[in-house]
Amino acid sequence: MTLPTPSTAPGAPLVPVLVVVGVGLIGGSFAAALRQVGQVGKVIGVGRQVASLERARDLGLIDDFLPLEHAVAHADLVLLSVPVGATEATLAALLPHLPEHAVVTDVGSTKRDVIAAARAAMGDRINQFVPGHPIAGSEQSGPDAAQAGLYQGRDVILTPLLQNTRADVEFVQLAWELCGADVRLMTPELHDRALASVSHVPHLLAFAYMGQVIGAPDTALRLDLAGSGFRDFTRIAGGSPDMWRDIFLANSDVLLDEVAQVRGMLDMFERAIRHGDTEQLTMLLQAISSVRRNWGEAHAADASAVDAPSAGGVQSAGDAPPASSPEV
């Protein structure tokens, strides 16, 4: 990767011009983190809600906002913080205006579909796209939720392509590391399998369980009696319906396989309960509880950060341009 002359000057920031497409929690926090450590020059925002972009500018997350084609014209790094379903249209819209030296990365919660969309949109310029996914988030959304420390100590997964240069991958990796993140490299297949298990399935189960509760004839009573266990389990069912629809469909093959395995575990519990098998039920509960406690103790430091995806982040999709109109 050959960066423009300003970046080669002594003391110049890693990213002279950063373009953030979708300046909400995820994109805004990335810009804020790089700004905090002095590793970004100018930050340009792109989005469909002018009020949100103005707020991001007032907060100092971005220096200015422009239509997509004007914003990327002088970009060194472009961060796509859009719903995964908008990836192809957004990349197709920016590609004619993207400098040859610029690198594009994303924050999508699924990678195989995002990579397929990028290949369709970018063709022989796919080498400029380095797929990524920060494992961080918050229940809050929009530019006001952005925080420079969001990625501190959090995992960011990169799934490099064969067409990527080593320099471009290292450029994106260093940008995330400067945000305080721990960067992991893996294949998109491994990423999608792991995230289906520890993120997508829990969200699907939370939605399904909440749906069962609100479909009951005594819903009001149940909700009135609900306590912390119900609150903890269903919190993630309050996520963006559009975002989770896209994720479930994008990762459907792996997701359905994981759901089948969960169903198998439920069947084991059901058989033990139905037959009054105290020994089997106790064994299941003890084994699972022990692993969960050990994991909780080992990851106690992560408890302050909400486990949320970033397919455009847990932020509203309104923070990013729609597929049909990538301009402000």
Tens digits of per-residue pLDDT, 112-126? 999 999 999 999 999
Tell me: the pLDDT tens digits for 62-111? 999 999 999 999 999 999 999 898 999 999 999 999 999 999 999 999 99
Residue 82 lies in a domain: yes
What dihedral angle (degrees, nearest 10) is formed by the CA atoms of 91, 12, 39, 173? Answer: 60
What is the Cα–Cα distance from 152 to 149, expressed in whole angstroms? 5
For residues 217-245, give the mean pLDDT.
93
Residue 327 lies in a domain: no
The DSSP call for residue 198 is I
Model pTM?
A: 0.84
Say yes or no: 38 and 169 in one domain. Answer: yes
Say yes or no: 81 and 218 in one domain. Answer: no
Residue 324 lies in a domain: no
What's the number of domains the chain is made of?
Answer: 2
Say yes or no: 178 and 199 in one domain. Answer: no
Say yes or no: 11 and 132 in one domain. Answer: yes
Contacts of 47 (CB under 8 A, 6+ apart): 21, 22, 23, 53, 65, 319, 320, 321, 328
β-strands 64-65, 77-80 pairing: unpaired
For residues 192-200, give the mean pLDDT.
95
Say yes or no: 112 and 235 in one domain. Answer: no
Q: Show the domain range for 59.
A: 5-186+313-319
Residue 285 lies in a domain: yes
